[in-house]
Amino acid sequence: MAIIQAPAFCCDHFIIHKSCSIPPINKSTSCSSLSINNNNTYSTHLSLNNRRKLFTTSCSLLEDGVSGSAVQTLEIDPMLDVKKKAMEIVPGLKGTSIYLVGINSTMKTKLGKLLADVLRYYYFDSDSLVIEAAGGEAAAKQLLDMDKSAFRESETEVLNQLSSMGRMVVSAGDGAVQSATNLSYLRHGISVHVDVPLDMVAKEIVEDGLRLFGTEILPSASHSEVVSQLATLNKELQEGYAMADATISLEKVAGLLGYDDFDAVSTEDMGLELLTELEKLMRVKKMMEDAARPF
């Protein structure tokens, strides 16, 4: 039996051709990891264009007049790269909190929870805390309708309390970028704009019933109407989003990975990109600190 083991390193496209000798393979052999063909090469192929890596190895042979190919496919957990990058940057973060801003979406929520998990941080959703403080969603909506300024003050108080703590990933609501005071609280940590295509968010609202608290956007509206409302909201908040320390664009990540379908971008893909951006920010910060030290 030939046992083919995946190498511990990674490359974009790794091919080996060589002869190999193993006991004859019976063409009637049936196995989920074995197939028979008529070539005479051993090859290993690993594509990193897709971070959900599929590692395929094959070994062809010729002995006693019988040729065949043993094929083994291993799927590499995409979380491994994310966890590795997280371990690399955690010491440099020194417990600094991370605030995710941007129109709420499933990706933004999942990304926040993934980051909290790999960084060993706590996860909070600021809108959920505001709703809890108001006594529930119905009470929070009533407060928003009857006294918008009081509702905004509640948002500010939540951000104030969160900013005094560390080791958190906070999925911040729209109110976080709508006032200078709230933006100042985000400066206690690292803020990242999670930019998800509006068409994807609209699909989640119309088809999956995603609700954007504090807006008039309803799932009962048509897809085109929701996209138009989201575009207006995004334009209103763009100035606040521009104040973020970094931006992670799902569309950009899809392009880097060669995806035509935005839905193919995974939370792990976005997580690795965000961690890479955090690493860059910390590198720049260290350079500035070193430059400020007296000779």
Residue percentage of the chain with pLDDT more than 90: 56
The pLDDT tens digits for 9-36 are 333 333 333 334 334 434 333 333 333 3
67 pLDDT tier (thresholds 50, 70, 90): low
Measured N-to-C along each axis, helices 106-119 and 79-93 cross at an angle, to the nearest 10 degrees, of: 70
pLDDT of residue 5: 40
Helix or strand or coil: residue 174? helix
pTM: 0.75
- Averaged pLDDT for residues 119-134: 94
Which is nearest to 23 in space by CA: 59, 77, 72? Answer: 59
106 pLDDT tier (thresholds 50, 70, 90): very high
Where is mean pLDDT largest: 149-158, 231-240, 276-285? 231-240
pLDDT of residue 290: 76
pLDDT of residue 212: 85
Helices of type H across the chain: 79-93, 106-119, 126-134, 137-146, 148-163, 180-186, 198-208, 223-241, 250-257, 267-292
**Sequence ranges of the domains in the chain:** 1-76, 79-292
- How far apart, in whole angstroms, are the C-alpha atoms of residue 202 and residue 78? 27
Q: Which CATH number fits domain 79-292: 3.30.350.10, 3.40.50.300, 3.40.50.1240, 2.60.40.1220?
A: 3.40.50.300
Looking at the predicted structure, is the pLDDT value of residue 186 above 90? yes
Provide the 8-state DSSP code for 194.
E
- How far apart, in whole angstroms, are the C-alpha atoms of residue 159 and residue 152? 11
Residue percentage of the chain with pLDDT more than 70: 74
- How far apart, in whole angstroms, are the C-alpha atoms of residue 261 and residue 171? 25
The pLDDT tens digits for 34-61 are 333 444 433 333 333 455 555 445 555 5
Looking at the predicted structure, is the pLDDT value of residue 134 above 50? yes
pLDDT of residue 52: 52
In the block, which residue shows the tokens 């606040």?
Answer: 240
- How far apart, in whole angstroms, are the C-alpha atoms of residue 89 and residue 86? 5
Provide the 8-state DSSP code for 213.
T
Looking at the predicted structure, is the pLDDT value of residue 277 above 90? yes
